[in-house]
Structure 1
Amino acid sequence: MKATPLVWTGRVLSALFVLFMLGASVAPKFFMPEIAREASRPIGVADENIPLIGVIELIGTLLYAWRRTALLGAVTMTALLGGAIATHMNAGSPLASHTLFGVWLGLVMWAGLWLRDADLRALLPLRRT
């Protein structure tokens, strides 16, 4: 079956989310630990928690990327992003650029999944007919 433009848009949004998470969030926690520590200290994240956060991000992102577990990955990542939002609120980070970044990222993630998954669109329609 040929994929529709709607599905391709969802795949692109999902790929952008996965690439961002792996490149800008997961990789620094494992391969650039000093940069990750410097970014995390001002918002109150202890140095010893950074690798664990990276593992949770990696697992959630990989679950999201695989079609059969994408919904579980999206729920996992939503929880993680909620924690990031709360952490930034508690630290007094700028609203639009830091605190709400988890919201913007979550919107891209869920939009990608909703567009690429017909079952999810049927479960959560934009409007009922």
Structure 2
Amino acid sequence: MNTSTASTSPAAAAAPISARARIAGWILTGLAGLFLLFDVIVHLVHPESATEWADDRGLPYYMLTTMGVLLGISLVLYLIPRTAVLGAVLITAYLGGAVWENIRSEEALFGYILFPVYIAIVVWLGLYLRDARARAVAPW
């Protein structure tokens, strides 16, 4: 059996995950996941606040559903350990669109524009603490 391949993989090069780090990672993942799940539900249920938001930006209501489905798929991928990195990338892309929309709508910098960035940081920090593959990519 060739063991040199296993020892040179990026995941093997990362430092082992302590139990505390793994727990903290799952807690952060859970917090980000709950917030994003709430966002998915809002986009799929179309409460009055969501339809007013869409009206203000000139978006048709079906786009709310599309956004909810895309974020929902990304969230599911993020919560499955095997596909978590792909899910985090897709969530980051989705949140980048939210940043752009907030800039385009001339929202407040710290109250709205940067909020999706804060969520993305929590998403990646949670993944970093619970997944050796994420730490292998950015071994700080």
- TM-score using structure 1 length: 0.88
How far 1:47 moved relative to its partner?
2.2
How far 1:37 moved relative to its partner?
1.1
1:72 to 2:86 alignment = yes
1:5 to 2:20 alignment = yes
Counterpart amino acid of 2:64? I
Contact 1:88-1:99 at 8 Å conserved across structures: yes
1:28 to 2:42 alignment = yes
| Structure 2 unaligned residues grouped into runs of 5+ | 1-16
Say which of 118, 123, 128 aligns to 2:137: 123
1:89 to 2:103 alignment = yes
Once structures 1 and 2 are overlaid, which stretch shifts more, 13-22 or 116-125?
116-125
> What residue number does 1:18 align with?
33
1:38 to 2:52 alignment = yes
Bigger CA radius of gyration: 2
How far 1:3 moved relative to its partner?
5.7
Q: Deviations over 1:17-46 (max 9, x none)?
A: 1111112x1111222443211233334433
Contact 2:46-2:64 at 8 Å conserved across structures: no
| Structure 1 unaligned residues grouped into runs of 5+ | none
How far 1:55 moved relative to its partner?
0.4
Distance 1:90 1:31 in 2: 25
Q: Deviations over 1:70-125 (max 9, x none)?
A: 01100101110001100100110111011111100000000000000022212211
Number of residues of Structure 1 aligned to a counterpart in Structure 2: 124
1:125 alignment partner, SS class? coil
Distance 2:120 2:137 in 1: 19
Runs of 4+ displaced beyond 2 Å: 31-35, 39-48
Counterpart amino acid of 2:135? R
| Greater relative contact order (CA < 8 Å, ≥ 6 in sequence) | 2
How far 1:52 moved relative to its partner?
0.2
